[in-house]
Amino acid sequence: MSDIKIKSKNLNVYYGDKQALFDVNLDLNEKEVTALIGPSGCGKSTFIRCINRMNDVIDICKVEGNIEIDGVEINDKELDVVSLRERVGMVFQKPNPFPKSIYDNISYGPKIHGKGETKSELDEIVENSLKKAALWEEVKDRLNEPGTGLSGGQQQRLCIARAISVNPEVILMDEPCSALDPIATAKIEELIDELKKTYTIVIVTHSMAQAVRVSQKTGFFHLGKLIEVGKTEKIFKNPDNKMTQDYITGRFG
Partner 1 sequence: MTKEQRLKKRHSSEKRFRFYGLASIFVALLFVLILVNNIFSKGSSAFMKTAIDVEVFFDPELLELKNGANEEEILEADFYDVTIETLLKVYPANTLEEENALIDLFTTDAEIEIKKAFLEDNTLIGKKINLEISASDDIDQLHKGNYPRDLPEDRRRISNIQLKIYDNLIENKKIIKNFNNYFFTNGDSRDPELAGIGGALVGSFYSIIICLLLAFPVAVLASIYLEEFAPKNKITDFIEININNLAAVPSIVYGLLALQILLATIQLPRSTPLVAGITLALMTLPRIIIPCRASLKAVPPSIREGALAVGASKFQSVFHHVVPLALPGTLSGTIIGLAQALGETAPLILIGMVAFVVDIPSTPIDPSSSLPVQVYLWSESAERGFVEKTSATIMMLLSFLIVMNFVAVYLRQKFEKRWN
Identity of the residue, 11 or 159, whose beta carbon is nearer to partner 1 in the bound complex:
159
Q: Does 14 bind partner 1 (CB under 8 A)?
A: no
Which one among 12, 128, 148, 178 touches partner 1, defined by CB under 8 A? 148
In a 3-state reduction of DSSP, which class is residue 165? helix
> Minimal distance in Å, beta carbon 89 to partner 1?
7
Phi, psi of 82, deg, nearest 5: -60, -45
246: buried, middle or exposed (CB in 10 Å: 19+, 13-18, 0-12)? middle
Cβ atoms of 63 and 9 within 8 Å: the answer is no
Cβ atoms of 112 and 139 within 8 Å: the answer is no
Q: Does 82 bind partner 1 (CB under 8 A)?
A: yes
Q: Which is it for strands 200-204 and 33-37: parallel, antiparallel or unpaired?
A: parallel
Q: Does 79 bind partner 1 (CB under 8 A)?
A: no
- Interatomic CA distance for residues 143 and 110, integer angstroms: 16
Identity of the residue, 82 or 209, whose beta carbon is nearer to partner 1 in the bound complex:
82
Q: Tell me which H or E stretch contains 121.
A: helix 119-132
Which one among 75, 96, 178, 207 touches partner 1, defined by CB under 8 A? 96
Q: What is the dihedral of CA 19, 21, 23, 26, to 10 degrees?
A: -170
Q: Does 160 bind partner 1 (CB under 8 A)?
A: no
Task: Mark residues 193-232: x for contact with partner 1 by CB under 8 A, - for none.
Answer: ----------------------------------------
Which one among 38, 43, 109, 153 touches partner 1, defined by CB under 8 A? 109
Identity of the residue, 63 or 159, whose beta carbon is nearer to partner 1 in the bound complex:
159
Identity of the residue, 97 or 239, whose beta carbon is nearer to partner 1 in the bound complex:
97
Three-state helix/strand/coil letters over 81-112: HHHHHHHEEEECCCCCCCCCEHHHHHHHHHHH
What is the separation of C-alpha 203 from the centre of its chain, rounded to a whole number of angstroms? Answer: 5
Q: What is the dihedral of CA 175, 4, 214, 96, to 10 degrees?
A: 30
Q: Does 128 bind partner 1 (CB under 8 A)?
A: no
> Minimal distance in Å, beta carbon 145 to partner 1?
13
Restricted to residues 15-74, the positions that interact with partner 1 (CB under 8 A) are: 52, 54, 57, 59
Identity of the residue, 31 or 111, whose beta carbon is nearer to partner 1 in the bound complex:
111
* Residues binding partner 1 (CB under 8 A): 52, 54, 57, 59, 82-83, 85-86, 89-90, 92, 94, 96-99, 108-109, 112-113, 148, 159, 162-163, 165-166
